[in-house]
Amino acid sequence: MRKASNRMAHIQMIAVWVMMMSWGSGMAGADDAGRIQPYRGNPFYWQYEGKPVLLLGGSDEDNPFQWTGKQLTDQLDLLVSVGGNYLRNTMSDRDEGNVYAFQRVEDGRYDLNQWNDPYWDRLRFFLDETRSRGIIVQVTLWDQHDHTGGLWRSHPWNPQRNVNYDSQVIRDRNDFYAAVQEDNQEILHYQERFIDKLTSVTLDYPHVLYNINNESWAGVEWENHWAKYLHRRANERGKTIHVTSMHMRPWITVRHVLTYPELYSFVEISQNNQDSMGARGHAHWENIMRWRAKLATRPMPLNNEKIYGVGQGANYSAGDGREAVRRFWRNIFAGCASSRFHRPVEDRWGIGLGPLAQTQLRAMRMLLEKLDVFSCSPHNDLLSPLDISCEAYCLADIGRQYAVYFPDGRQAIELDPWVFVDSMTLRWLDIERGEWSDETVIPVERDYFDPQWLHKAKVRLQTPDNRPHVALLRVPMPSGQEGRESLSAND
């Protein structure tokens, strides 16, 4: 009897594991091949419609689905025109002109059993327009900032503002976000009904990623409940989806994803991109390197849907606009899968899709036209600064291509290509001007400890002037392979 019991327990454990794995990886549907998913050739990146894609963006709103008509389409067209393909979309309703998901009834309150059609029509329009332009959307289900102070007093989830439950069910937003932990079935019924409606729309679209919470403090039970719930709804529709959750502290997000790999398939490290919860300068890059190392045995995309920083740094938490630009480039040179500028300048949190952001997006796309980023890895180990103040970052596919980002001009560094080669080709990308230099051939200097073997090689790189630049170096192809071309994000 004991053996039979143990065998049954073992079978049950296997069944649970299979079910959880199906939630995390998705049970393949007919259209799964074209959906957004980790790139099979390098899971640190994404692929869409079967091709690898690097996600770059910026926008002047964090819930752009609430925009209508030309206000939305003009922003989308601008984003695409400067090389962007990535948007953040919180299901928020706290700004002027926003609408709620629920129908308002005669007494001025809301009925959570009746949908407000304009809210859902806006979402469908948004998803139609982004899909037609090849823009990947990262949807955030919950944002506690929608439910603070006066926003809570007027929100349909407040028991004083709906006809469905009273203050005996929940008193405030803390009770709202404690519904899972406290097993409050009455409020969970309406929360799950909202997610059912949301996924009935979003699961029809192949270009949607899912984030449970913005800057979450709601707890593990809350996060995991909604991750499981999303996967369950997706499996019922035969869809594969990819889910994460953004904590206020980015290292907690990494730990959370590593703890529950059956639920989460990418990491959202946006909070690293601000002064108060993240880092600036070289420490910002080092954080990503540490987290990337933790994921080495289970590679997955590291996303940055928010890059903070604006102006001269009057917002202490966010940082300044100069650092925002550097974070954008550092993220990519650290091997991240996405990088997006946060909020418009007037909000004092980011540079949105303003002129400064547009310049960076254009320049990055120029680089990606020539650099096969999906075959590269971060390789600052190849660099030797000639001055302690020099800051530079290297992406390399050793033996083929090397890119070195210099946040400042008037900097010099040595690069060791780590292969036996006499020369390399070099081009400089002037980021601010959006211009490539002519290609030149530069010699590789070599030191020997033995007449027959290379001990060390070096190429000296000196920025052309005092503006930020990227150096792109190639190893000449052996005779007969000159036609070999690198893969680009546009292929």
Its sign, for the CA torsion 407, 408, 409, 413, is: negative
- Contacts of residue 205, Cβ cutoff 8 Å, sequence gap at least 6: 127, 131, 137
Taking the C-alpha atoms of residue 159 and residue 215, their distance in angstroms, rounded to an integer, is 24
> In Å, how far are 335, 391, 401, 470 from 380, measured between CA atoms?
12, 10, 14, 14
Taking the C-alpha atoms of residue 218 and residue 181, their distance in angstroms, rounded to an integer, is 9
Q: Where do the H-state alpha helices sit in 82-142?
A: 117-132
Write out residues in the chain with pLDDT < 70, as ranges.
1-31, 448-455, 478-491
DSSP state of 284: H
Taking the C-alpha atoms of residue 255 and residue 249, their distance in angstroms, rounded to an integer, is 10
So what's the pLDDT on residue 470? Answer: 98
So what's the pLDDT on residue 25? Answer: 40
SS3 call for 106: coil
So what's the pLDDT on residue 31? Answer: 63
So what's the pLDDT on residue 33? Answer: 87
So what's the pLDDT on residue 449? Answer: 57
- Contacts of residue 291, Cβ cutoff 8 Å, sequence gap at least 6: 250, 251, 254, 267, 269, 302
Starting at the earlier edge strand, list the strands of the sheet with 383-385: 383-385, 412-415, 453-462, 445-450
DSSP state of 345: G
- In angstroms and rounded to an integer, the radius of gyration of the C-alpha atoms of the chain is 25
Half-sphere exposure of 81 (CA within 13 A, CB side): 9
Each residue's pLDDT tens digit, 9-39: 333 333 433 444 444 443 444 468 899 999 9
Starting at the earlier edge strand, list the strands of the sheet with 37-38: 37-38, 46-48, 51-53
Which residue from 480, 406, 399 is spatially nearest to 444, judged by alpha carbons? 399
Each residue's pLDDT tens digit, 240-256: 999 999 999 999 999 99
Taking the C-alpha atoms of residue 285 and residue 328, their distance in angstroms, rounded to an integer, is 11
Taking the C-alpha atoms of residue 52 and residue 352, their distance in angstroms, rounded to an integer, is 25
CB 352 within 8 Å of CB 343: yes
User: 355-368 and 321-333 are packed helices; what angle lies between their axes, rounded to 10 degrees?
Assistant: 20
Statement: the pTM of the whole predicted model exceeds 0.85:
yes
- Contacts of residue 361, Cβ cutoff 8 Å, sequence gap at least 6: 56, 57, 58, 82, 83, 84
Where in the chain are the domains?
11-368, 377-474
- In CATH terms, the superfamily for domain 11-368 is Glycosidases (3.20.20.80)
Taking the C-alpha atoms of residue 143 and residue 72, their distance in angstroms, rounded to an integer, is 21
Spell out the SS3 assignment of 286-298.
HHHHHHHHHCCCC
Taking the C-alpha atoms of residue 436 and residue 198, their distance in angstroms, rounded to an integer, is 45
Which residue from 89, 300, 119 is spatially nearest to 207, judged by alpha carbons? 89
φ and ψ at residue 102, rounded to 5 degrees: -110, 155
